[in-house]
Amino acid sequence: MIVTQNLSKKYAKQLVVNRLNLNVRQGTVFGIIGENGAGKTTALSMLVTLTTPTSGKAYVNGFEVSTDPVGVRRSIGYMPDSFGVFDDIRCEEYLLFYADCYRVPRDIARQRCNEYLDWVGLAAKREAYVNTLSRGMQQRLEVARCLMHDPPVLILDEPASGLDPRSRIELRSVLQRLKEMGKTILMTSHILHELVEVADELAIMRAGEMMAVSSVNVLKNHSTAYRTIRIVGTGSDDLWKSALTEDKHVLNYHIGPEFVEVFYGGTVDQQARLLEEMVQRGISVHQFFEYETDVEELFLRLTGEVMTE
């Protein structure tokens, strides 16, 4: 449904997006996690035809973004990260205006307006002016706006940005309903747990490049098979590294000033042998304990993006 092939964007000498390859399947939710400045917004801007790629290809619903931008625009509902709704207009008028832009017949537009205002929890705000709504309500109104022409694809850039905890929960419920409707959704965030709750696949983007992609179901299935071990002991960095790098069950590790943290995929017996190996190499182990790894931590640690200090 959304496919990119070595998609790149360069401004002057700065490469903002570098050879991006995506494959978002129909009816799935694909989440891209990345810090501010990672290139997420630029990537989405190319997909929604607001920015012209420097090189590479991108297809949305079968339409190529450079050669058939009109086809792409008809296929998507786009929610940008910068908030830009009209303030001095009623909610119902706002949605009907966008329906008119897509030439949706007025009777169908009114029906959709009523339906979507209801299920984003704004039925009682139909006659309210947009500028009287809270930030969370405005975000949900934007989701309703994205649906007025019934697009198969939704592209949402940081939809939960700036929301309080309650509004985030309400928006998450709306996104779950979109998923149940069978919409294909590509969304970004710089907060991982927001994506874990709704996404089918996750990717990390850093410095314009896609660093890793994983299925959320795979992560959930593996989260019980991996554990994080924290070791307090004394020994040179070389001793720690030699013991840890030679154990094939050590997936990742971090040597800190107060303890060593190991992301481990072996059995309990294999874990015990790792401890024995450390002692034999001359490491003095004072404490050795483990704690559970959740889906978010698993994803970050498997991709090598984060180790706890």
Query: Domains (ranges, CATH) in the chain?
Result: 2-215 (3.40.50.300), 227-292 (3.30.70.100)
- Taking 70 as the threshold, does the pLDDT of residue 270 lie above it? yes
Q: Which of 26-40, 72-86, 88-102, 244-258 has the highest mean pLDDT?
A: 88-102
pLDDT in tens, 148-205: 999 999 999 988 877 777 888 888 888 888 888 899 999 998 777 777 778 899 888 8
Report the range of poorest mean pLDDT among 42-51, 94-103, 228-237.
228-237
- Taking 70 as the threshold, does the pLDDT of residue 223 lie above it? no
pLDDT in tens, 115-124: 999 988 899 9
- In whole angstroms, give the CA distance from residue 229 to residue 234: 16
Residue 154: strand pairing partners: 77, 185
User: Stretch 222-242: mean pLDDT, rounded?
Assistant: 81
Query: Exposed, middle or buried, 109 (CB in 10 Å: 0-12/13-18/19+)?
Result: buried
| pLDDT band at residue 307 under the 50/70/90 scheme | very low
Question: Are 222 and 297 contacting, i.e. CB atoms less than 8 angstroms apart?
Answer: no
Closest by alpha carbon to 1, among 187, 184, 195? 184
> What is the pLDDT, as a whole number, of residue 256?
87
